[in-house]
Structure 1
Amino acid sequence: MRVVMFGYQTWGHRTLQALLDSEHDVVLVVTHPKSEHAYEKIWSDSVADLAEAHGIPVLLRNRPDDEELFARLQEADPDIIVANNWRTWIPPRIFNLPRHGTLNIHDSLLPKYAGFSPIIWAMINGESEVGVTAHMMNDELDAGDIVGQEAVAIGPKDTATDLFHKTVDLIAPVTVTALGRIAAGETEFTPQDRSQASFFHKRSDVDTRIDWSWPAEDLERLVRAQSEPYPSAYTFHKGKRLEILAAVVSEGRYGGTPGRIFYREGEGVAIVAGADARTGRNHGLAITRVRTEDGRELAATDYFTSMGGYLTTRP
């Protein structure tokens, strides 16, 4: 099939590579200009560079809504558009243009976690697995019929970085298998159960800030979800920003006020956590490694030289 590809960052790069390695013919690539957004500078393999290295015409767009782009798509005469990590709305006149419509590749197990940063959100929420879904595009974001889907389990010590590498390796088989079904003439695919749908916004700095009213289990997952190279989870200590690089749920249960720097436990320092911490029934978050505002990385037991005081959500 003649394929036009819309994509960005490493997800788009892997999709384009899968198409180049397949029997299909990529005739045009549309990608975004480089961005300074913190999450868009991560996993930033260039779709444009890969396309140009293979002699494929490239168009740079923030939004696919201009007449020149539409004319170029008509000239390309695609059988299908394949999209992955396209960051803005694609209008119906574009996604309906190809003979077989548009196949979107999304890094979650739809219908859950439509939208942005699905791996990080899923991990924070304690999901047991993540994955990649190929679905037909329709008028609602990430809501079309599912053509193919594969999952991987979330391990108890996995970070978001681990899960990125696991899921990005699913892009090629999910994409190529889905295209094979479409090329073979299949047109009936699996409708999404919209009662199970959830949609998440882009993550920003405030989303990495620790709220000590959360249960320690949730905070431990937040720290793993914000693993390098993602921005680290952070709190404030004595008015200065303190990044939490590693932490575990404490063995002991600690009562009092959320955020209290309370007790040295093993190789960590236990912080009181949970909205109902006053009951004394909660485990704490045992911080084991931190990074200070001036960039020093320290064991928590070296940073917290005495117990007492509080970690806060604001300076």
Structure 2
Amino acid sequence: MKYVLFIGSRVGFEALNLLVIENCDIHHVFIEKEHEHEYEKYYQRSIEKCKGLSINYSVNSIQSEIIDNLTQSLNDGHSINYIMSFGYRRIIPGSVVKMANIAAFGTHFSPLPRYRGFAPLNWVLINGETETAVNIFYLDKEVDNGDIVDKENVPISYDDDINTLFEKCIVTFRKVMRRIIPKLEKGKFDALIQDNEKATYTCARNPEDGLIKWEWNSTKIYNLTRALTYPFPGAFSFIDGRKIFIWSCEEYETPKYEGRIAGKVVKVVKEIGVVVLCGEGAVLIKDVQLENGERQTADNLIKSIRVTLG
């Protein structure tokens, strides 16, 4: 079988590696660069992998270039059995999807049909979900709504952050891919139709969406922090007018406060952090960083219980 890949980020690089390991015939790879604000960039690794194996590739191709490239391949007598999109953030045009003479597939890390769209792993953590999933599904004209050809659930623990959850999903993704590739090579696989009546969607996230509102309860603040920790832009607040990023925190039990000020520091824990009151409950803020500053424990930066964040 011949494959055309559309890849981006870590997920795309992992997919490319797996297909190479399984000796799949990769006809062309369209590679998308990460955005400049993203700390980790995998596109260069994908380029090096293609170069080392003499696999044809293109980087950041516009739609017309993709169509021209694949049309020329078909005119030259090259068949395209599968088109696969992994970590690629643009919708594959329908005219391209139709060039696959068997099927076109993508992946999404969410409990489909819920959480279709942007940043699903960040959102499931923000919302306190206890499970997500790795899905391989047919590409369709609507986002993330194609029939599912393979799926495996991934548990989310209370202690997971975006990094540990992503690694769980990567391990599961490898497992699912190894399971499905032999079926693809034989051209024999089943699919499950998604229940569109149960579908939900997510918004794209911007760095400014990480603002903490201390009137929230402690669980909501904890979930936001663990969902946006490095290498993501981070949950943040302000101290004396300066932006402070909060990279880690945990919920913290305090005495009952009848005189409660949300965002008020009520305890300094030496070499660990500071305890801050929320609208309900409290959090122990641990690793922090002033904008353009160095990462440090919060007690090194905040030394007084007269400080209020916000």
**TM-score where L is the length of structure 2:** 0.88
2:7 is aligned with what amino acid? G
Pair 224,33 (structure 1): closer, same or farther in 2 beyond 3 Å? closer
Mapping of residues 213-292 of structure 1, within 5 Å: 213-252=215-254, 253-254=256-257, 256-264=260-268, 267-274=272-279, 282-292=280-290
- Greater shift after overlay, 105-114 or 95-104? 105-114
Q: In the alignment, what sits opposite 1:277?
A: none
Mapping of residues 97-108 of structure 1, within 5 Å: 97-108=99-110
Q: In the alignment, what sits opposite 2:27?
A: 27
Say which SS state the counterpart of residue 252 (structure 2) adopts.
Answer: strand
For the 8 Å contact 2:273–2:298, the answer to whether it is kept is yes
Q: In the alignment, what sits opposite 1:178?
A: 180
1:80 deviates by 0.7
CA distance in 2, matches of 1:233, 1:295: 15
1:2 is aligned with what amino acid? K
CA distance in 2, matches of 1:268, 1:61: 43
1:115 deviates by 2.0
CA distance in 2, matches of 1:119, 1:244: 19
1:259 is aligned with what amino acid? G
Unpaired segments ≥5 residues, structure 2: none
1:141 deviates by 0.9
For the 8 Å contact 1:27–1:56, the answer to whether it is kept is yes
Pair 110,269 (structure 1): closer, same or farther in 2 beyond 3 Å? same
Say which SS state the counterpart of residue 55 (structure 2) adopts.
Answer: coil
Find the partner of 1:305 among 292, 303, 306: 303
Q: In the alignment, what sits opposite 1:279?
A: none
1:111 is aligned with what amino acid? P
Q: In the alignment, what sits opposite 1:48?
A: 47
CA distance in 2, matches of 1:287, 1:155: 20
Identity, % of aligned positions: 24
Pair 73,194 (structure 1): closer, same or farther in 2 beyond 3 Å? farther
2:266 is aligned with what amino acid? F
Say which SS state the counterpart of residue 11 (structure 1) adopts.
Answer: helix
Mapping of residues 114-193 of structure 1, within 5 Å: 114-186=116-188, 188-193=190-195
1:287 is aligned with what amino acid? I
CA distance in 1, matches of 2:172, 2:64: 30
1:100 deviates by 1.2
For the 8 Å contact 1:33–1:62, the answer to whether it is kept is no
Q: In the alignment, what sits opposite 1:10?
A: 10
Q: In the alignment, what sits opposite 2:69?
A: 69
For the 8 Å contact 1:81–1:102, the answer to whether it is kept is yes
1:106 deviates by 1.8
- C-alpha RMSD of the superposition: 2.3
Unpaired segments ≥5 residues, structure 1: 275-281
CA distance in 1, matches of 2:139, 2:101: 13
1:57 is aligned with what amino acid? N
Q: In the alignment, what sits opposite 1:296?
A: 294
1:134 deviates by 0.3
1:35 deviates by 3.2
Mapping of residues 82-93 of structure 1, within 5 Å: 82-93=84-95
Pair 132,91 (structure 1): closer, same or farther in 2 beyond 3 Å? same
CA distance in 2, matches of 1:176, 1:78: 21
For the 8 Å contact 1:210–1:234, the answer to whether it is kept is yes
Say which SS state the counterpart of residue 181 (structure 1) adopts.
Answer: helix
1:218 is aligned with what amino acid? K
1:214 deviates by 2.3
For the 8 Å contact 2:269–2:299, the answer to whether it is kept is no
1:164 is aligned with what amino acid? F
Say which SS state the counterpart of residue 35 (structure 2) adopts.
Answer: coil
1:285 is aligned with what amino acid? V
1:64 deviates by 2.9
Say which SS state the counterpart of residue 68 (structure 1) adopts.
Answer: helix
Q: In the alignment, what sits opposite 1:278?
A: none
Say which SS state the counterpart of residue 48 (structure 2) adopts.
Answer: helix
